[in-house]
Each structure stands twice: as C-alpha cells, then as structure tokens.
Amino acid sequence: MTVSDKVGQLFVIPVGRHSPNALRLPPDQRAGAVQLDSVAQTCELVDRYRVGGVCYFPGQAGGDDPATVAELTAAVQRATHSSGVPLLVATDQEGGTVARLRTPAFAVPGAMALAATGDPGAAREAARIIGAELRALGINQNYAPVADVNVNPANPVIGVRSFGSDPAQVAEYVTAQVQGMQDSGVAATVKHFPGHGDTATDSHLGLPVIEHDQQTWRKIDAPPFRAAIAAGVDAVMSAHLAMPALDPSGEPATMSEPILTGLLRTELGFDGVVVTDALDMAGARERHGAEEAAVRALLAGADQLLMPADVEAAIAAVVRAVDSGRVPMERLDQAVGRVLRLKRRLGLFDGLHLEVDNPSHPGGALALALAGITVLGSPLRPVTSGSVALVGCLATGADALAAALSAAGAQVIAVDTGSDPDQAAVVRAAEVAGAADRTVLVTRSAWRWPGQQALLDAVDTGFTAVAIREPYDAGLGAGDTWVLSYGDDALALEAVGQVLTGRSRAGGRLPVDVPGR
C-alpha cells in the first residue's frame, strides 16, 4: 500500500443526508465543506482516496426502508473495487432516541430504558436484535453502546443514552451489549472515552471540561470501559472533551496522547480500533481547526478519523504530515494494521460484506420496552373512559398517546404547549385540564424548561405525569403518579400507551438517582 492508500484507510466519511447544513459549523465555514448527501459522490470519494469506512445516515426524515439501505451499502462496497479493501460500514444505532434506522421494524429500547428493566439479559437481547438487523443490511460496525456514566442530571448530550449513574451497573449493561452485538457479527464501539457523563456542555457545540481528578475518573468513568475491553470490544470512540487531571494541556481527549495512548492503550490495555467522535463537531475544531484536528488525533493514538468537515483537505493534511515525518510511518502502519485486522475479523475479505438482505425482526422489542417503563408515586389508575386532557410537551407523542387513550374509550382533548410555553399557553392548558375528568400531563426534559415547570405547578393535583425523555422530571414534585419512558421514540410511546390504558403492566425501576425520589 502507498502512503495515500494507507491514509485513506483511516478515514470514515458520511453517506446519506449529512450535508454541510447538518454539520456543527459556523455559517461562514459551511460553503467550504464537502457535501456528502449523494451516494454517487460518496462512492467517488471512496474510490479516489481508498477510503476505509463510511458512516450511514438516513436519506429521509422518517428513515429509509430496508431495501434502500441494502442497496446503499452494496453500492459503497462496490466502490472499493480498485483498492480491493472492503469498507467498514458504520452507523449510530444505539436504540431508543438515537437510531439511524428509524422504521418500526428496527426499533429497540435505548440504554436507560433497558437498565430500568433490571435485567442485563434484556440489554444483550436488544443488542443482538440490533446486530442482526445491521448485519443483514450490510452494516458491520455500530457506534454503540454508550459507556458514559450519567452522574450529571443536567447533561445535555448523554442523559437517557446512558445505562445509569452507577458505574458498576453501567459496566454490567455495557458488557451485555458488547457481547450481544458482536455475537451477531457486528463490531461494537463503546463511547465516549474517557467518559462524557459529567458535563453540562454539548461537545457538538463546544468543548466540555470535566473536572474529575484521577481517582474520581478511575472510580466513576473508567469501569465501563475496562469491562468492555475485558469483554473483547472491537472499538472505542474518543470524546471531544478536556479532562485536565488526565491531560493538563487541556487538549480534547481525541487529540490527547496521555489519554488515548497512556490511559486507554497502556493502563486499560486496549489494542483494538480507536475511532474519533465526528471531527465536524465544535469540540474537535475549537483549538486547532478541522485539518489539524485530524493530524493530532492520529498522533494521539486514534486509528479511524470520523467525518472531518472537509474530507479532502483532512486527507491531504495527514498525507503531508506523513511525508514530512511529523507522523512516523510506524504510527501510520499501526493504525492501518488495526483497521485491517478488524475487517478481517469481521470476515469482510471473504466477501461477506456483500451478503445483504432485508432483515426479519426477531421480535420481543415491545416486551423489552414494557419491562423498562417505570411508575413512581401513587398506583396508576388506567385511563379507560371519560374526558381526558392530554397536555404538555407532546411533540412526537401527540398522535400515539391520543390514539391509545381514544382506543381505550376516552374522549381526548390534546393541547401541545411545546418545550417552553409562555404564561398564556400555561393558562390555556391548565383550563383544559381543569374541565376534564382526567389529565395526562406530558413532559420532555422539563427540568431544563421553566415553562414546563410552570405548567406542572398550574395544573391541579391528581393528574398523571408522563416523562417521555429523562426521568429527572419526576423530581419536580408535581403529579400523583409519574410514568417514565426514557425515550420519545415510537416504541417507547407505544409502551406508554399500553401502560396508561391498563393493557400492560410497567416492569421498570429507576436506574439513576433522581432527587426527591
């Protein structure tokens, strides 16, 4: 392989609708970014630069049908004919709220919902279902599971994507998902090292700084990653965050040799593939810019460089760094060797990457979702008749919950107040609630929004509250009964509807600490 061939193998580029408008770039920088919302354009770049991987995004808001995904993965694999090296085709299919395959056939609960079941076997089964679906469509690497311990309720980017706030619990569920995913023939990728669970900054929009000392990191953040490595996880994704106690330079972990090489490689003993989080994120670009970020990530110990804002410029920058000697050939060969070994372990050189088909859903996803639905407070009285005010931040849940309540015999009056209603909207919703026989008040991250909190205060006691995202809403105090779904995806809402109407029982318990509960 030439230097250019080797460098190309390190890059993962998007395929699907991931245009500059989707990047976390300032408006004045978007024009220079390479637009990759065309499969043909992606294939051309794969062929020209010998790119080693692609990351799938759906081509339409509601998700692509299985046949379309299978055609896409086959097309990008055919583009590797000149290099003879198959692609790692990756995606973010965590389950729950983060899922690129969005049609109902692909739905499984997310991490916190699975942890609420109290059964690591549920997490393993969910990962097995995901892995079987992905592999059937030609996707061979999944950027999941999330190994972050969500100890900060104000975390804007992890939240219900985490298995909880207890490191030992998170480690157990992460291990189960790694095993389930890889048993299905898909490479699991735990994220976001060294741990994204205690931040109030979204690394898509800025560079979080986590003030854990080394002892705290080893006690809280490290255990799930250590457990995943012991379970044989194929890949680890780095985080765009600074942890000064681990690297006083303030470099993002993605570009920190003390973190990626010193801690992950040497202390934790990981010798698999390290993939960066997306390099188009602000947390990766703030200090050095897009091209330099790719070079520094490689020097720090990363093996795969995920979605730089300008693919061609980043590839050229890495080639220059190798040619100049700044990146030693030994470091380049080490990274390429890990990528190729993973491809061989997955059987990609045997032609298995072209064995795509429409998956048949193994079933059981709704049962897993119901096992995680959690009821707090007074026993839930099923809604079976009378007038019901369905109010609050209904968002995607309006149609699903209204349909479930109506099917049970209720006359539903729905009022969607949005995320942060003003006083007039709060008064109107409270009036509708006061005139109905029953009230179901839906919150979505109400702990962040004063308007939702005002609505909780304005509606009389006696209502049933449904938190369709983070469970921390239940600590706000209002409501006789709280129903927690840990997600607002279609599967979670279907499970909530069955619980509210008494068709099914909730089986979950809180997997995180919620003040006041």
What's the CATH number where 384 sits?
Answer: 3.40.50.1700
Residues 441 and 483 sit within 8 Å (Cβ to Cβ):
no
* Domain co-membership, 283 together with 305: yes
The three-class DSSP label of residue 366 is helix
The pLDDT confidence band at residue 47, using thresholds 50, 70 and 90, is very high
277 part of the active site: yes
What pLDDT, on a 0 to 100 scale, did the predictor assign at position 287?
82
Strands 387-392 and 88-91: unpaired
Residue 508 lies inside a defined structural domain of this protein: no
* Domain co-membership, 447 together with 495: yes
HEC readout, 66-106:
HHHHHHHHHHHHHCCCCCCCCCEEEECEEECCEECCCCHHH
Residue 408 belongs to domain spanning: 366-500
> Which of 304, 329, 354 is the C-terminal boundary of a domain?
354
What pLDDT, on a 0 to 100 scale, did the predictor assign at position 21?
43
* Domain co-membership, 96 together with 129: yes
Q: What CA–CA distance (Å, rounded) separates 66 from 72?
A: 10
* Domain co-membership, 173 together with 199: yes
Average pLDDT of the chain to the nearest whole number: 90
Strands 93-95 and 98-99: antiparallel
Which of the residue ranges 95-99, 147-151, 207-211, 482-486 would you say has the lowest mean pLDDT? 207-211
Residue 513 lies inside a defined structural domain of this protein: no
In angstroms, how far apart are the furthest CA atoms of the chain? 76
Q: What CA–CA distance (Å, rounded) separates 396 from 393?
A: 9
**Amino acid at position 12, single letter:** V
* Domain co-membership, 201 together with 314: yes
The count of C-alpha atoms lying within 13 angstroms of the C-alpha of 253, restricted to the half-sphere facing its C-beta, is 30
Q: For Cα atoms 81, 87, 90, give the angle at the middle one, nearest 5 degrees.
A: 150
Please pick, among 221, 234, 277, 489, the residue that the annotation labels catalytic: 277
> Which of 327, 354, 381 is the C-terminal boundary of a domain?
354
Span 346-359, average pLDDT = 66
* Domain co-membership, 370 together with 474: yes
pLDDT in tens, 177-220: 999 999 999 999 999 999 998 886 666 667 788 989 999 999 99
The three-class DSSP label of residue 222 is helix
Span 445-471, average pLDDT = 91
pLDDT in tens, 53-87: 999 998 877 788 888 899 999 999 999 988 899 99
* Domain co-membership, 375 together with 310: no
* Domain co-membership, 203 together with 118: yes
Residue 2 φ/ψ, nearest 5 degrees: -75, 170
The pLDDT confidence band at residue 166, using thresholds 50, 70 and 90, is very high
What global pTM score does this model have?
0.92
pLDDT of 35 strictly over 60: no
The three-class DSSP label of residue 465 is strand
* Domain co-membership, 378 together with 317: no
* Domain co-membership, 313 together with 389: no
| CATH code for the domain in which residue 228 is found | 3.20.20.300
pLDDT of 290 strictly over 50: yes
Span 497-506, average pLDDT = 96
Residue 515 lies inside a defined structural domain of this protein: no
Residues 452 and 419 sit within 8 Å (Cβ to Cβ):
yes
pLDDT in tens, 122-165: 999 999 999 999 999 999 999 999 999 999 988 878 999 999 99
* Domain co-membership, 226 together with 155: yes
Number of domains composing the chain: 2
What pLDDT, on a 0 to 100 scale, did the predictor assign at position 204?
66
